[in-house]
Chains A and B, each alone.
Chain A
Amino acid sequence: MVLSALFNTTWIEMKRLSRNKYFIVFSIIMPFVFYAVYTTTNNAEMGISGTKWKGYFLVSMTCFSLMSSSVSTLGIQMIYDKKQPWMNWLFTQPLQRWKYFAARIMTQMVLNLLVILFMFVIAAQWKNIELPMTTWMGIVLWIWLAILPFLALGTWVSVVENTESAAAVANFSTLGLALLGGLWMPLQEMPALVQIIGPWLPSNLYAEGAWSLLAGDAIKWSTSAVLSLYFLLFLTGSVMTHHHFKKTTYLSDT
């Protein structure tokens, strides 16, 4: 029953998320359009960090897509759902809360994988990006698994009570982290202060792992270690804040 409830909840949540216009626009259309524009207006064959712009920016935009989906879509959707009476109703059924929330994370992971494959297959065909299969697989796995800190950040954002405020927080953090982390423009071309701060941001560390693999290098242990610390920080923050709000929430309906 445990696996069946998890699987069935994941399946229905995947259907719900795939029908979410916000997810389609911000996690699929927008990153792809930006990729198309930036690789068409710039020289796609230009060399950067040991690789070519067309591959480098594909990694950047795929990382941005998954960050946007994991922080904004997941966080805002969780706030919206939390306010819906059906959510309480669902827990009167034989379904424990942890299973439901685990299914939400699994849903996000499955759709993230589909987004990565969508971006990579289309871009590789269109821009003729040729890499050894092991390199492709390494990059896919890294982008897919190293998203965990951002999923934790998404659940942390979901503690904000008001959907509009949460959207502002989520979009500000996603866009801010993407910009300052060098996902929109290489850090080398950013102001000196950003070049100092940028490498320590989770967004840069996240993309940095994939950029290293793209250039044929190994992922630095410090990248994985600092990103893991971010994961622990966001997860702890999320759990503690949810716990605090659960204890102090005032429910007025009688």
Chain B
Amino acid sequence: MLSMRSVTKSFSKTSVLKGIDFQLEKGESVLLLGPNGSGKTTLIRLLLDFYKPDEGEVSWMESMGARVGFILQEPSLMDRVTVKELINYIRSLHKNPLTYAEAIHNAGLVEQENVLTERLSVGQKRKLLFALALIGRPELLIMDEPTAGMDLHARRSFYAQVQGLKEEGLTILMTTHLLDEANLLGDRVLLLDQGVITKDQSVASISYEQRTIRFALTDREPYSARLKEKGFRQIERGWELVTSQADELITWLVSEQIPFQQLTIEQQSINDFFESSVRSQH
């Protein structure tokens, strides 16, 4: 559906993106994660043609045309117009838009339809931005931290709407700071750090491949060298290791007759994945 090949972008002498390669396939839901300043917003803006890449290319599937919905990071809306006027104006720009009733329902702002946009709360602005992005019946929805500033109730409602859109086959690319959103909404995670995509893998593989083995050991001394050699790290009351070969390591612990106690095996959360991936880069 869209791809970036060897894309670089600098502002003055600051290199923000350094050789970005990725593809987005139809129907995928991809989460773009990364710490502040990692280049997420620049990447999104390159996709939307706000900036031109210094090198490399951004390619869109030809039939995409204008059917891309976009939600800004900032809750910014055209001012001095009412909710109704803005929805109808955006509808007028599209060939086959949603009806006004559908759009105002998506925004959940039926009672505020005659309110000027600058008088809406941040959460209401975000809901309206979401509804505006869907007016042109997009095939691809690009969202830059869409839930920032939403309360819990609004966020849950947003998740439900996005889940619904995913089920309808909409392709989604979304940046977020809220890592749990990856578990809820993403099929695939791209980790961007210092302008480079350092990880590109499915959410399922993060949960199932990486596991944390943790156990206690009363008498450490005789086993330390062997455990360290295997990559275990000492913690307060025992040892731990994040690994994709948990089963083999437990077999090894047994065969080595290491007297472990309180053994736990935890699946890695998105938070663990994010922290360990970013930590390993620094």
Inter-subunit contact B92/A5 (CB<8 Å) = yes
Q: Which residue of B lies closest to A4 (CB)?
A: B92
Bound complex: CA of A155 vs CA of B40, how far in Å?
33
Question: Once the chains bind, are B93 and A95 in contact (CB under 8 Å)?
Answer: yes
Closest CB of chain B to A236's CB: distance in Å? 25
User: What's the Cα separation between A62 and B5 when bound, in Å?
Assistant: 57
Contact bitstring B11-44, A, C-beta under 8 A = 1, else 0: 1100010000000000000000000011111100
A253 touches B76 (CB 8 A): no
Please tell me which one of the listed residues A20, A85, A89, A94 contacts residue B93 in the complex, with CB atoms under 8 A apart: A94
A43 lies within 8 A of chain B by Cβ: no
Q: A85-B72, A250-B11 are in contact. Are A92 and B77 (CB under 8 A)?
A: no
Flag if B81 contacts A92 (CB, 8 Å). no
Q: State the Cβ distance, B192 to closest chain A Cβ, in Å.
A: 10
A193 within 8 Å of B by Cβ?
no
Chain A 84-101 against B: per-residue CB contact (8 Å), 1 yes, 0 no? Answer: 111011101111000000
Nearest-Cβ distance from residue A48 to partner chain B, whole angstroms: 40
Q: Which residue of B is nearest A11, CB measured?
A: B89
Query: What distance in Å separates the Cβ of B71 from its nearest Cβ neighbour in chain A?
Result: 8
* Number of chain B residues whose Cβ lies closer than 8 Å to a Cβ of chain A: 35
In the assembled complex, A133 has its CB within 8 A of some CB on chain B: no
B95 contacts across to A, CB distance below 8 A:
1, 94
Q: Is the CB of B72 within 8 A of A86?
A: yes
Q: In the complex, which of the residues B40, B66, B77, B92 has the most CB atoms of chain A within 10 Å of its own CB atom?
A: B92
B70, A16: Cβ atoms closer than 8 Å: no
Distance of A85 Cα from B79 Cα, bound (Å): 12
Q: Is A192 an interface residue (CB 8 A)?
A: no
User: Quick check: is A37 within 8 A (CB to CB) of the other chain?
Assistant: no
Nearest CB in chain B to that of A18: its residue:
B80
Check A93 against B136 for contact (C-beta < 8 Å).
yes
Say whether B80 contacts A8, CB under 8 Å.
no
Contact A254/B38 with A5-B92, A89-B72 known, Cβ cut-off 8 Å: yes
Is B80 a contact of A15 with CB atoms below 8 Å? yes
CB-CB under 8 A from B40, the residues of chain A are: 254
- Interface size on A, as a range, is 20 to 34
Q: Does B90 contact A (CB under 8 A)?
A: yes
Interface status of B94 (Cβ within 8 A of chain A): yes
Return the CB mask of B40-79 against A: 1 if under 8 Å, else 0: 1110010010110000000000000010101011101111
Give Cα distance in the complex from A241 to B192, angstroms: 36
B66 pairs with A94, CB closer than 8 A: yes
Q: Which of B11, B42, B79, B94 contacts A16 (CB under 8 A)?
A: B79
Whether A90 touches B78, Cβ cut-off 8 Å, given contacts A15-B85, A254-B42, is yes
CB distance from B154 to the nearest CB of A (A): 20
Check B80 against A84 for contact (C-beta < 8 Å): no
Neighbouring A residues of B89 by C-beta, 8 Å = 8-9, 11-12
Assess A252 versus B78: contact at CB under 8 Å? Given A12-B89, A93-B90.
no
- Across the interface, B85 reaches (CB within 8 A) one of A1, A12, A88, A251, namely A12
Q: Is the CB of A92 within 8 A of B48?
A: yes
Contacts of A85 in B (CB 8 A): 72-74, 76
Given the complex, which residues of B lie within 8 Å of A253, measured CB to CB?
41-42
User: Measured between alpha carbons, how far is A20 from B78 in the docked complex, in Å?
Assistant: 13
CB B151 to nearest CB in A, in angstroms, measures: 22
On chain B, the residues within 8 Å of A250 by CB distance are 11-12
- Closest Cβ neighbor of B12 among chain A residues: A250
Residue-wise, chain A 1-29 has the 8 Å CB interface mask toward B (1 for contact) of 10011001101100110011000000000
Residues of B within 8 A of A252 (CB): 11
A88 to B129: give the CA distance in the assembly, Å: 13
Distance of A20 Cα from B11 Cα, bound (Å): 35
CA distance A252 to B14 in the complex (A): 9
- A251 CB contact (under 8 Å) in B37, B51, B70: B51
By a CB distance below 8 angstroms, the chain A residues around B90 are: 93
Q: What is the CB-to-nearest-CB distance from A21 to chain B, in angstroms, rounded to a whole number? A: 10
CB distance A19 to B80 under 8 Å? Answer: yes
**Given contacts A85-B74, A94-B136, A15 and B41 within 8 Å (CB-CB):** no
In the complex, residue of chain A having the shortest beta-carbon distance to the beta carbon of B73: A85
Option from A1, A11, A16, A254 in Cβ contact (under 8 Å) with B78: A16
Contact with A along B150-182 (1 / 0, CB 8 A): 000000000000000000000000000000000
6 residue pairs A–B, Cβ–Cβ below 8 Å: A16-B79, A84-B79, A94-B66, A250-B12, A252-B11, A253-B42
Knowing that A11-B89, A86-B72, A252-B11 touch, tell me 17 more A-B residue pairs with CB under 8 angstroms.
Answer: A4-B92, A8-B93, A12-B78, A12-B89, A15-B81, A16-B79, A16-B80, A88-B45, A89-B76, A92-B70, A93-B93, A93-B94, A94-B94, A94-B95, A253-B41, A254-B37, A254-B38
Of all A-B residue pairs in the complex, the 5 with the closest CB atoms, nearest first, are A85-B76, A8-B92, A94-B66, A19-B80, A16-B80
Interface residues in chain A, defined as those with a beta carbon under 8 Å from any beta carbon in chain B:
1, 4-5, 8-9, 11-12, 15-16, 19-20, 84-86, 88-90, 92-95, 250-254
